[in-house]
Amino acid sequence: MSQFNRDHKWVYLFAEGNGRMKELLGGKGAGVAEMTQAGIPVPPGFTITTEACNAYYAYDRQFPEGMWTQSNLALRSVEAETGKHFGDPANPLLVSVRSGSAISMPGMMDTVLNLGLNDETVEGLAQLTGDRRFALDAYRRFISMFGHIVMGVEGEKFDRVLSRVKARTPGGQDTDLTEADLSEVIESYKRIIFAERHGEEFPQNPHDQLRMAISAVFDSWMGRRAVDYRRIHRIADDLGTAVNVQAMVFGNLGWDSGTGVAFTRNPSTGEAILYGEYLLNAQGEDVVAGIRTPKAIATLAEELPDVAVQLQEIVHRLERHYRDMQDTEFTIERGKLWMLQTRNGKRTGAAAVRTAVEMVAEGLIDEDTAILRVEPTQLDQLLHPMVDPNAEVTVLTTGLPASPGAAAGVVVFDPDEGEQLAQRADATPYILVREETSPDDFHGMVGAQAVLTARGGMTSHAAVVARGMGKACVVGAGDIEIDEDQGIFTVGEVKVRKGDWLTVDGSTGQVLLGQAPTIEPVLDHNFETLMGWADARRRLRVRANADNGPDAEVARNFGAEGIGLCRTEHMFFGEERLAAMRQMILAEGRGERERALEKLLPLQRQDFLEIFHAMEGLPVTIRLLDPPLHEFLPNRDDLMAEITELRFTIMQRAESMAHVAQLMEQIWQKESLLRQADRLREANPMLGHRGCRLGLVYPEVTEMQVRALFEAACTVKGEGLAVTPEIMVPLVSTPEELRHQGELIRRVAEEVMGAYGLRVDYTVGTMIELPRAALLADKIAQHADFFSFGTNDLTQTTLGMSRDDSARFLSHYILHKVMPDDPFQVLDQEGVGQLLEIGTQRGRATNPKLKVGICGEHGGEPRSIAFCDGIGMDYVSCSPFRVPLARLAAAQVTLRGSATMAE
Amino acid sequence: MSQFNRDHKWVYLFAEGNGRMKELLGGKGAGVAEMTQAGIPVPPGFTITTEACNAYYAYDRQFPEGMWTQSNLALRSVEAETGKHFGDPANPLLVSVRSGSAISMPGMMDTVLNLGLNDETVEGLAQLTGDRRFALDAYRRFISMFGHIVMGVEGEKFDRVLSRVKARTPGGQDTDLTEADLSEVIESYKRIIFAERHGEEFPQNPHDQLRMAISAVFDSWMGRRAVDYRRIHRIADDLGTAVNVQAMVFGNLGWDSGTGVAFTRNPSTGEAILYGEYLLNAQGEDVVAGIRTPKAIATLAEELPDVAVQLQEIVHRLERHYRDMQDTEFTIERGKLWMLQTRNGKRTGAAAVRTAVEMVAEGLIDEDTAILRVEPTQLDQLLHPMVDPNAEVTVLTTGLPASPGAAAGVVVFDPDEGEQLAQRADATPYILVREETSPDDFHGMVGAQAVLTARGGMTSHAAVVARGMGKACVVGAGDIEIDEDQGIFTVGEVKVRKGDWLTVDGSTGQVLLGQAPTIEPVLDHNFETLMGWADARRRLRVRANADNGPDAEVARNFGAEGIGLCRTEHMFFGEERLAAMRQMILAEGRGERERALEKLLPLQRQDFLEIFHAMEGLPVTIRLLDPPLHEFLPNRDDLMAEITELRFTIMQRAESMAHVAQLMEQIWQKESLLRQADRLREANPMLGHRGCRLGLVYPEVTEMQVRALFEAACTVKGEGLAVTPEIMVPLVSTPEELRHQGELIRRVAEEVMGAYGLRVDYTVGTMIELPRAALLADKIAQHADFFSFGTNDLTQTTLGMSRDDSARFLSHYILHKVMPDDPFQVLDQEGVGQLLEIGTQRGRATNPKLKVGICGEHGGEPRSIAFCDGIGMDYVSCSPFRVPLARLAAAQVTLRGSATMAE
């Protein structure tokens, strides 16, 4: 801190700062300075800089030299402007003291009001306002606030005194307190402080009060809650907080006074009308406390028409000044309007879109700015139903918000039951509740309104599949204890039975009892307009991950420019298919295997037909069979339980020898299946016999898939429609794998096209999802038309972290800043990103025409999308419901990129 | 092939070539050319080049232009030298035709002898030799050989005729055949060929015979067996084979003729005396056929003393010429010695070492050459017992030779039983036979003589652990079916019971019935001498992976210069320790966990003490706890079986309500354990909560380990001994992990050293075993004193291949050349190697003092060692029994490196 000489400027009058000095003055300080500069009526004051805060810590919690002197000088300037004097019993200046860092942060000291009051000035205030009761009331509020916030006395101790005194009054309300009551309260408060602070008096000297309050603000920067908050939100510790000292104005000096908040537009809908609420004859804290119900801002025109006009005019000016919707706080003191704060208003996704688009129409901002105004993740809200914010709901528990949207249904534990329910004519909507889900449960997820799991993280099976289907999903609701046998789950004392109604809000993670009312999303012309602007600007193409016709249609409606990942294995989980699949897996030789594959071929062909129809004219990337085969076999524990059950039956309830024989036969069959399952069981299936390793060992599987694919493609082409399949070979680690599968694909393609007498344009490429594939990309690219980075698996292998297992330590890691983000949600640019860059560069080095994209979960995450754009990828592919988000994010990175270049 | 003009030289007389032309003339051709050049008596002949073979294929199986003419010219030159003429009925020249590529390769055409015989020349041969029976016999041999090898007639058809005719003779032997019998055989042979070749006659024209034989040699290059062989051994297809045409000499022209093989030294022991065997009055094929028993070469001095002296002199010249032990073939024709072939002799490890060292003493080679003469992998033979090669054994089955050495013992299936057996005073040696092993079985492996598993590959748990302990091990013996309940295993029809004797040969993979005699290894002065030379030359240091005192001692005796990897988890598998470990894992909170850790601390300290004592003065790298915790919990299936068993007991055999209650209590406890195990169960444990992730979430575990380590180190230091611990943090993926653990380690180290009032030099480093760690090595190195590449895990993650699961497809991959080697045995230089290089370079970039080594299985594999040296690592660490191999391999890479630089 030796860089500061004794004349260093630690203190800025509001009139000396401006809105761009956020880092030095904090958000609040910069805001009031900017308003002051713009001629908006703001109670005068000054800001002690964040630099001073850092110096305070550097000097072992001492004010840096000159700061206190400058602060007193600034105070004199405020005195001059208000004509009042700090500590003057005749005409006392009262101030508020507020913290304010560059980033708004709960956990720091909020506000001390009415600072400057003491036993003498309180009387001056009484005279000045002609309202002694008001002055005493302000004094007792100040003492308790100061005692609690600055001197660290438990707030409850003051509350108890107040409650006791109020209880004696006829009405029992604050307003029933007499001046005598208040004086008694004040004396009690002082005694509490004296006792709690072991003999330290409540300071009567206003300058002591101010000095202590400033220290308290600085100290709160390193308070436990503030530090925790910064840790979680990864905010640097040396940002520091500023201190704002501002002349008090009073909204509680009668019915021509008041206080309120005003938004320049409706933050829920974006509608361009003044929005907000106020209370007359009240201070800010009264609004927060909720003792009186505030009135809608429209009413102000009736109650104080002049002020209403003035307010309308000021906030309008503020909005034009900041060119963004403003969230303001104001106080009316005896008919005079004072603005206390203005900041860009938080808004819903719908409001963000509408505001941005309308501001372009109003000439306030240009289209580029409009695009940058909307947080891509906010679009999620627009695309899914939400719980009516006005509804009364009972929150049962909260898990992780894994897939946005809200849905209600009856509780079902068994996926089979769910499937049956969905197939009934009067299909009751249901919520599938599971410990966690596996591919086995897929059929039960398809028909569900939403999925709720007790375990798993944001990228668990349930989460990924639900997001893919755009279905609401809450995972990892750890409070839930499921007893499937009893058909019940409990949260603490609350029991929820199978068939009970439940509402799941995948946007917030909340699980609500009963059937909460939901609001359907509306994609209006504002949304379309904004997306149009975004599309015109982005370089990166956006595709969707979709495995079937309906999903593909959704994706196309959301603006997907193709399918970037169609997982063929999801097609095998239907009942009929699963049987054929199991026959294929358990086949003893190639002949038997081929017979099983023959059953699967027409089913698979039908799947492809639907997708090709849905995506007509757009490219469709189809990935060959990927998961380890044992995923298609029945669950081992289930089998063992069934065998045990059968044994019990033989022992206890066998009716005859024939019955025994029959049961023994069943046991034998199940044991045989168990042995097969055991034979296929792998210690680490993620790193096992899967991906193209299946296709190399069982080329007949690849052949069936490619045949089905080209038969479907030829059929579509025969109908006169355009079709562009891209066949993707998964889990390649060495060039020879791709060469081998590519040769097979091209041979079968020729055969089928020959048989149909047609030619279909197609390409062959690979997933880059293993570090080795990225490192050998130059060699692999010689056999590839395209690369698609499978960042889910690439993250797993690069970090050596199983997505299914990492929850156990990853939350600890993120909390303790070992890792900045969950690498399965936000691309690990530092590590995995290197491989993406290496893979892209090397691949293009040997094959300049190589098309490069990404199809992992990261394809729908804005920061990751920016990275993909930065390294020159051609496209990203994400869940259908994330497509608009990706389109917007891609446009933003283009705009930010050009901005950066312009600099 | 257009690069060849019509004058291109396709044919070389033996006198025109030399030993360096192996690629063009093949090994055999170059060998005879070199001998001819050296003035050794070699029957004259010529070689058609491998280039001609490639041209033959390029021209659609036509001889390239000029080849046939040159071949005839060369033939004429042979005629001139021998004074005989090809096809001359009066004085016929007969030739042998042999294939011979640069690399010796079974599956190609071997030899056609006596080519040039026909109905006329056979009579000329009869006159020339004065032995018509001999001539007819030669003719019938030639027709059948030619018919079979060149014309593709089934050999059996000829054999049947011969057997039939022989059966009519009085003695029933070859020698009983009369001239008439032989004529009949010859005529029958011709008819067979005519019939089988659909009217094509056996060619009477010797030039046709020669042309056809040359084509047949060329064709055999692309024969199925040859192609398969090349695929398996990764030999290029365009190497091609040469054809050697050589004048026949006859060892069967009476008792002054003969044929034999001679080694210049004993290939089993290396002793420098002529070694080999011969038969008088016989052709080479008679030796091979084994009809007569050959005599030891020493006898030749008695039977044909002049020839013996000549042979001794010639092979001595050959050895001096080649400066290596020679394996020769010779024929004596009527007292004249002809050398047919010489090549460097194959030898055992012992012979290789002795020969190399003695040749230095003899001044034949220098020390550098001696070092390069011994294949590092051959040393394995020297360090382990082997099955007496002279013993009669019954091979039950053959698996993968996972850990070398041979051992006999009784069959044991249950590790507990094995452990008990080992603890008995009269400890019967036993072989642990398992489906596959897991860390749970460790205690049963410790006492076993050898381990045999039905499943698993060269790098399965059993293989890795057995190699670490230097214990014989055969894995993946797939023929074995184990029925543990019955206490039996079967191979086909053979049943082996618990307690039966078995011998396991881990060097060959053979499993022998009964107790086969074994020979103990002797490490003689030759071995020490060679190792001394190697040590003086190598740059790379060699350490060992050892987890306990005894292993560390073995390693030190084998020349290890430190411990490169001490796995602390192996220390936790003893019974008492496992109990404390489970208590630690199942602990509900930190307090309970710490109490369990307190029990483990003294045990762990004792382990460290033993290792520090064993390695006094040398560095010891100790890795903190690494495996996922559930490895320490009981097996899930076992638990479930026990619970089921208890339920049955309740239902059927419960004696009283008290008994039921007691059983229920047991069920409850086991179910609780099962739930815990389920809670800890991971989908992919390899990528789960393990390595330093344990130490970050449970710092108290790291703390206990570090405390035990430093208490041991201080104790040793207190005894006045030198100790250098290096603490290694496993599975780091991000710098913060290492920073965190490093801080903890240093804090505890200071505490303990302070308490002892001592200072111990120590370093803190990390395993680089994840791709991300290698990519971020520059940042990680800022917190590390050393890196040790854990190439086992790094291979798993870089290739996305689980070591435990990859056997299923990896054998297919290697067979079909998708991958050149098993990447878990031979370092994947192309992929994983990149990360090793990146990690080393980046690590040293920010920390130039960084010590870098490797501690994966690859640390004991010669090619991988060469790679590690090439990228500048400081050391390799391998199993104790591989240390000598590594020392030698490291010396060889230094020598080859300087050789390369000298060029």
**Residues paired with B326 in a beta bridge:** B344
Q: How far apart are CA B903 and CA B894, in angstroms?
A: 14
- Tracing tokens 């080209």 back to the chain, one arrives at A710
pLDDT, residue B286, reads 67
Under the banding of pLDDT at 50, 70 and 90, the label for residue B290 is low
H/E stretch holding A728 reads strand A724-729
Structure tokens at A167: 């209880």
Q: Do B835 and A689 touch (CB under 8 A)?
A: no
Q: How far apart are CA B713 and CA A490, in angstroms?
A: 53
b/e burial code for range A60-84 (CB count within 10 A of at least 16 → b): eeebbbbbbebbeebbebbbebbeb
Under the banding of pLDDT at 50, 70 and 90, the label for residue A288 is low
> Nearest Cα to A494, choosing from A642, A394, A407, A423?
A394
- Average pLDDT in chain B: 90
Residue pairs between chains A and B whose CB atoms are closer than 8 Å: 174
> Angle B832-846/B862-870 helices, nearest 10 degrees?
30
Q: Sort strands B763-768 and B786-789 into parallel, antiparallel or unpaired.
A: parallel
pLDDT at A50 over 70: yes
Q: How far apart are CA A371 and CA A529, in angstroms?
A: 10
Under the banding of pLDDT at 50, 70 and 90, the label for residue B898 is low
- Tracing tokens 């072992």 back to the chain, one arrives at A60
Q: What is the pTM of this model?
A: 0.81
Q: How far apart are CA B801 and CA B813, in angstroms?
A: 13
Structure tokens at A562: 């193709």
Give the number of other Cβ atoms within 10 Å of residue A212's Cβ.
Answer: 18
Give the number of other Cβ atoms within 10 Å of residue A682's Cβ.
Answer: 19
pLDDT at A903 over 50: no
- Tracing tokens 């056997």 back to the chain, one arrives at B807
CA torsion through residues B166, B169, B175, B179, sign: negative
**Residue of B697, B805, B812 with shortest CB distance to A809:** B697
CA distance B252 to chain A (A): 53
Quick one: average pLDDT of B54-68?
93
Residues 6+ apart with CB under 8 A from A896: A372, A866
Q: How far apart are CA A113 and CA A111, in angstroms?
A: 6
* HSE-up of residue B478 (Cα within 13 Å, Cβ side): 6
CA dist A395 to A278, A402, A436, A504, Å? 30, 17, 21, 10
Residues of chain A contacting B828 with CB distance shorter than 8 Å? 772
- Average pLDDT in chain A: 90
Degrees to nearest 5, angle at CA B370 with B366 and B374? 170
> Nearest Cα to B430, choosing from B440, B442, B420?
B420
pLDDT, residue A347, reads 85
Better-predicted residue by pLDDT, A559 or A176: A559
Residues 6+ apart with CB under 8 A from A425: none
Q: Do B772 and A831 touch (CB under 8 A)?
A: yes
**Residue of A771, A802, A812 with shortest CB distance to B684:** A802
Q: How does pLDDT run across A580-632, given as a tens digit for each residue? A: 888 888 777 788 888 889 989 999 999 999 999 999 999 999 999 999 887 88
**Residues paired with A108 in a beta bridge:** A106
H/E stretch holding A45 reads strand A45-48
Give the number of other Cβ atoms within 10 Å of residue A199's Cβ.
Answer: 7
What amino acid positions of B are annotated as catalytic residues? 461, 855
Q: Do B802 and A688 touch (CB under 8 A)?
A: yes
| Annotated catalytic residue, options A85, A461, A570, A740 | A461
Q: How far apart are CA A769 and CA A149, in angstroms?
A: 54
List the single best residue of B630, B805, B827 to mutate versus A (max A Cβ within 10 A): B805
- Tracing tokens 């030379």 back to the chain, one arrives at B533
Structure tokens at A334: 């005896």
pLDDT, residue B1, reads 44
Burial of A652 by CB count in 10 Å (0-12 exposed, 13-18 middle, 19+ buried)? exposed
Give the chain B residue whose CA is nearest to the CA of A794: B800
Q: Do A696 and B812 touch (CB under 8 A)?
A: yes
Strands in B70-191 per DSSP E: 95-101, 111-115
Give the number of other Cβ atoms within 10 Å of residue A220's Cβ.
Answer: 20
Q: Do B687 and A688 touch (CB under 8 A)?
A: no
- Tracing tokens 């109003």 back to the chain, one arrives at A362
**Coil, strand or helix: which one is B494?**
strand
Residues 6+ apart with CB under 8 A from A495: A488, A489
Give the chain B residue whose CA is nearest to the CA of A695: B809
Structure tokens at B380: 């394995």
End-to-end CA distance of chain A: 31
| CB of A60 closer than 8 Å to CB of A29 | no
> Nearest Cα to A129, choosing from A333, A286, A304?
A333
The length of chain B in residues reads 903
pLDDT, residue A3, reads 60
| CB of A118 closer than 8 Å to CB of A226 | no
- Tracing tokens 């490890």 back to the chain, one arrives at B349
Under the banding of pLDDT at 50, 70 and 90, the label for residue B902 is very low
Quick one: average pLDDT of B667-675?
82
- Tracing tokens 């306990």 back to the chain, one arrives at B548
Structure tokens at A337: 């309007």
Give A818-824 contacts, CB < 8 A, sequence gap 24+. A818/B696, A818/B734, A818/B736, A818/B737, A818/B740, A819/B734, A819/B736, A820/A234, A822/A457, A822/A458, A822/A459, A823/A795, A823/A799, A824/A457, A824/A458, A824/A459, A824/A792, A824/A795, A824/A857
> Nearest Cα to A581, choosing from A727, A439, A448?
A439
**Residue of A648, A689, A817 with shortest CB distance to B809:** A689
pLDDT, residue B386, reads 82
pLDDT at B642 over 80: yes
Give A52-55 contacts, CB < 8 A, sequence gap 24+. A52/A10, A52/A11, A52/A218, A52/A240, A52/A242, A52/A243, A53/A217, A53/A218, A53/A221, A53/A240, A53/A241, A53/A242, A53/A243, A54/A1, A54/A238, A54/A240, A55/A1, A55/A4, A55/A10
Under the banding of pLDDT at 50, 70 and 90, the label for residue A106 is confident
End-to-end CA distance of chain B: 31
Could you tell me what percent of chain B has a pLDDT over 70? 97
CA distance A230 to chain B (A): 18
Burial of A321 by CB count in 10 Å (0-12 exposed, 13-18 middle, 19+ buried)? middle
| CB of B454 closer than 8 Å to CB of B482 | yes
CA dist B699 to A541, A871, B597, B745, Å? 46, 39, 11, 10
**Residue of B697, B813, B830 with shortest CB distance to A776:** B830
| CB of B167 closer than 8 Å to CB of B181 | no
Structure tokens at A133: 């009761």
CA distance A377 to chain B (A): 28
List the single best residue of B651, B690, B729, B734 to mutate versus A (max A Cβ within 10 A): B734
Burial of A751 by CB count in 10 Å (0-12 exposed, 13-18 middle, 19+ buried)? middle
Q: How does pLDDT run across A764-773, given as a tens digit for each residue? A: 999 999 999 9
pLDDT, residue A361, reads 96
Beginning with the edge strand found earlier in the chain, give each strand of the sheet holding A275-280 in spatial order.
A295-296, A275-280, A258-263, A326-333, A336-344
The length of chain A in residues reads 903
Q: How does pLDDT run across A51-61, given as a tens digit for each residue? A: 999 999 998 99
Under the banding of pLDDT at 50, 70 and 90, the label for residue B903 is very low
Q: Do A685 and B683 touch (CB under 8 A)?
A: yes
Q: How far apart are CA A784 and CA A847, in angstroms?
A: 8
Burial of A20 by CB count in 10 Å (0-12 exposed, 13-18 middle, 19+ buried)? exposed
- Tracing tokens 């699967």 back to the chain, one arrives at A600
Under the banding of pLDDT at 50, 70 and 90, the label for residue B522 is low
Q: How does pLDDT run across B231-265, given as a tens digit for each residue? A: 767 788 889 999 999 999 999 888 999 999 899 99
Q: How does pLDDT run across B18-37, given as a tens digit for each residue? A: 989 999 999 899 989 999 99
Under the banding of pLDDT at 50, 70 and 90, the label for residue B649 is confident
| CB of A738 closer than 8 Å to CB of A783 | yes
| CB of B431 closer than 8 Å to CB of B409 | yes
Under the banding of pLDDT at 50, 70 and 90, the label for residue A522 is low
H/E stretch holding B337 reads strand B336-344
